[in-house]
Amino acid sequence: MNDSPRRPQRIDPADRDQLAESPVRLRRVVALFAPHRWAVLAVVALIVTSSSVALAQPFLVRAVIDRAIPEQDVRLLLLTVGAMLAITVVTGLLGVVQTWLSTSVGQQVMHRLRTDVFAHLQRQSMAFFTRTRGGEIQSRLTHDVAGMQSVVTTTATSIAAHVTTVLGTAVAMVALSWRLSLLSLIVIPPAVWVTRKVAQLRREVTARRQRGLAELHGQTEESLSVSGALLAKTLGSSAAATGRFDATSAELVELEVRAQLAGRWRMATMQMVFAAIPALLYLAAGLPATSGGMTIGTLVAFTGLQAGIFRPVMGLLDVGVSWIASMALFSRIFGYLDLPVDVPPPTRPVPLEPAAVRGEVRLEGVGVTYAGSDRPALTGVDLTVPAGTTLALVGETGSGKSTLAGLLARLQDPTTGRVTIDGVDLRDLAPETLASIVGVVSQETYLVHATIRENLLLAKPGAHDSELWEALEAAQVAHVVRALPRGLDTMVGARGHRFSGGEKQRLAVARTLLRDPRVLVLDEATSALDNATERELQRALDRLSAGRTTVTIAHRLSTVRDADQIAVLEGGVVVELGDHEALVARGGRYAGLAGARLVAA
């Protein structure tokens, strides 16, 4: 008998905790499958039909053994054998159709959830991404969503299949022999208990092994990535990393041995159970007191049914575990879908043609206080940047420069006051419109793992090569790209590690300039450049800033001294405002920074 049952499970405490923290309404889960209701009903109907048809097999076996063969009834033999083959073909075909339907429904629901979660997370503010681990987001989008497919392909379908099989088999067993059925009721419970206890041991060992594998995977990712390898080489920590890896790998050896032994014990237990149950049935059938005149055909048919009922009984015992695990996954996904959007798009965006934008920027009574902080990052900021002029922001670390610059791209909304471009509140502009008006080059350059061309086309899909080269020329990096064997088709590598910091910065500048934004925000855009390259890039930016409003954050005096306005921030407050000469003559905070020839980053 090789019809071994599925490994019994126990409820994971983490799943219980997740559901206790974020309960899931069954109505919400059902709503996901509402568009596929007919397909789900068809799957259930196929399962019931397949299980019911398969139950005819033992009765055909009894007819062959008790009548067709002893009586040499060729006609009956042909009919019963043909019926057996027909049942096998029909159940096989029904199984194929059922798998196709259930997998299709599961994949479509997964696709919808993946897309909905991805789109919703795209609308989250930067605050969400700074407080959430990237691996956590990826896990929910991939593993959690994929795990939820089991609600259709495993949990829901197994309930229908197991219930139908158990009920139908029980009825068939009673019809064949009520005496043997009574014996089965006595034997099955202890057999189930034994197999579950052995399976629990294997589950515990397997869980520890999975945690060990996860730790090994984490060490591999941290140590053998580009950044990890660079860190290990510069700190001389390669030996220590190897030692940790060796210890984790050695622990896995022990766990793997224990897992295999637990699996061997489980198999041995199952073999004993499968051998003991038929033996007891044969004993009962052979004793005059319990046989009741049973035929050999009835005994063989009953033994087949007995073997077939064990697996669905175990499956039904595990339905609760599978259901809680599935609901816990739904809870995690719904938790992301229910996240409030800190920077919501306007319901009725103001139509604004980017080409017609002049670029006047105003901050009116702007204040920003981060969640969980009792100290505002900005307080009462009033600034006007006329179209086509340059504003430089200077101040110590934590003075609010980057917060202020981020408001222009609406990376967050002000807690008080408003920010406008040409008199239109940024909160009234569609995100796509704002992105086409405001271009940002930050100090943390990010290039996707693709070609230079693909990185540039992110800013302007469909741009011609001539436009790409023009942007590269303006950013003083065209000569670097031309020197590469594949030119624009060169892969930039993971996070752009193929290029130096200055080259990555200039590629990012080219990408932003390709959009030709009316408002340009440079957040330490030249921080990674040497003096000579910075001067070249600054001259290019000066030429391009004609007719463009530019807000720049820089720590070098040479970068800010030619700005039309310089705003000095301290503790989130604009303490000085004016041009270089006026602020130096005032002898205040800016004059002290200028005397040091360094504006703090």
DSSP states of 289-335? HHHSS--HHHHHHHHHHHHHHHHHHHHHHHHHHHHHHHHHHHHHHHH
- Most distant CA pair in the chain: distance in Å? 121
523, 398: one domain: yes
Q: What are the tens digits of pLDDT across the range 249-283? A: 888 887 777 767 765 666 666 667 666 777 777 77
335, 358: one domain: no
Q: What CATH number does the domain containing 576 carry?
A: 3.40.50.300
For residue 126, the model assigns a pLDDT of 75
Alpha carbon of 260 to those of 191, 209, 268, 309, 318: distances in Å?
Answer: 22, 11, 12, 27, 22
Give the integer Cα–Cα distance in Å for 110 and 142. 9
Q: Which domain holds residue 333?
A: 12-176+311-341
Q: What are the tens digits of pLDDT across the range 495-514? A: 666 787 778 878 888 888 88
166 part of a folded domain: yes
Give the integer Cα–Cα distance in Å for 206 and 197. 14
As a whole number, mean pLDDT of residues 319-335 equals 72
For residue 74, the model assigns a pLDDT of 86
Q: Sorting pLDDT into bands at 50, 70 and 90, what band is 234? A: low
Q: What are the tens digits of pLDDT across the range 476-485? A: 889 889 998 8
Q: 576 — phi, psi (to 5°)?
A: -145, 145
Expressed in percent and rounded to 5, the helix, strand and coil fractions of the chain are 65, 10, 25
User: Which of the given ranges, 254-268, 308-322, 415-429, has the highest pLDDT on average?
Assistant: 415-429
Q: For 384, left (φ over 0), alpha (ψ -120 to 50), or beta?
A: beta
As a whole number, mean pLDDT of residues 153-158 equals 68
User: What's the token pair of residue 480?
Assistant: 């670097």
CB 505 within 8 A of CB 445: yes
Angle between helices 74-122 and 37-54 (to 10 degrees): 150
321, 428: one domain: no
The total of structural domains in the chain comes to: 2
457, 559: one domain: yes
Q: Which of 477, 496, 502, 495 minimizes the C-alpha distance to 487?
A: 477
198 part of a folded domain: no
399, 476: one domain: yes
What 3-state class would DSSP assign to 524? coil
| All residues at 6 or more sequence positions from 451 whose CB lies less than 8 Å from its CB, including other chains | 486, 488, 489, 490, 491, 492
Q: CA torsion angle for 245, 247, 253, 258 (degrees, to 10)?
A: -130
Alpha helices in 123-144 (DSSP H): 126-131, 134-139
Q: Sorting pLDDT into bands at 50, 70 and 90, what band is 601? A: very low
Q: For 124, left (φ over 0), alpha (ψ -120 to 50), or beta?
A: beta
CB 45 within 8 A of CB 97: no
Alpha carbon of 518 to those of 359, 389, 544, 565: distances in Å?
Answer: 6, 11, 10, 18
Give the integer Cα–Cα distance in Å for 512 and 65. 82
475 part of a folded domain: yes
As a whole number, mean pLDDT of residues 109-138 equals 79
245 part of a folded domain: no
Give the integer Cα–Cα distance in Å for 348 and 414. 20
The one-letter amino acid code at 291 reads S
For residue 477, the model assigns a pLDDT of 85
Alpha carbon of 249 to those of 246, 320, 450: distances in Å?
Answer: 5, 35, 34
320, 361: one domain: no
More confident residue, 559 or 352: 352
289 part of a folded domain: no
203 part of a folded domain: no
Please provide the distance, in angstroms rounded to a whole number, between the alpha carbons at the two ends of the chain.
74
404, 329: one domain: no
* Averaged pLDDT score across all residues of the chain: 79
More confident residue, 131 or 52: 52
144, 43: one domain: yes
What 3-state class would DSSP assign to 48? helix
As a whole number, mean pLDDT of residues 517-534 equals 73
Q: Which of 249, 241, 247 minimizes the C-alpha distance to 209?
A: 249
Q: Which residues of 577-595 are buried (b: 16+ CB within 10 A; e: fewer)?
A: bbebeebbeeeebbeebbe
Q: What are the tens digits of pLDDT across the range 213-226? A: 767 776 776 677 66
CB 314 within 8 A of CB 273: no
User: Which of the given ranges, 348-357, 369-378, 421-430, 547-556, has the highest pLDDT on average?
Assistant: 421-430
Q: What are the tens digits of pLDDT across the range 42-82? A: 888 888 888 888 888 888 888 888 888 888 888 988 999 99
Q: Which residues of 189-211 are buried (b: 16+ CB within 10 A; e: fewer)?
A: eebbeebbebbbbbbebbebbee
200 part of a folded domain: no
Q: Sorting pLDDT into bands at 50, 70 and 90, what band is 85? A: very high
For residue 542, the model assigns a pLDDT of 67
332, 415: one domain: no
Give the integer Cα–Cα distance in Å for 560 and 537. 14
The one-letter amino acid code at 67 reads R
CB 51 within 8 A of CB 164: yes
296 part of a folded domain: no
327, 359: one domain: no
Q: What CATH number does the domain containing 150 carry?
A: 1.20.1560.10
324, 423: one domain: no
Give the integer Cα–Cα distance in Å for 130 and 274. 56
435, 571: one domain: yes
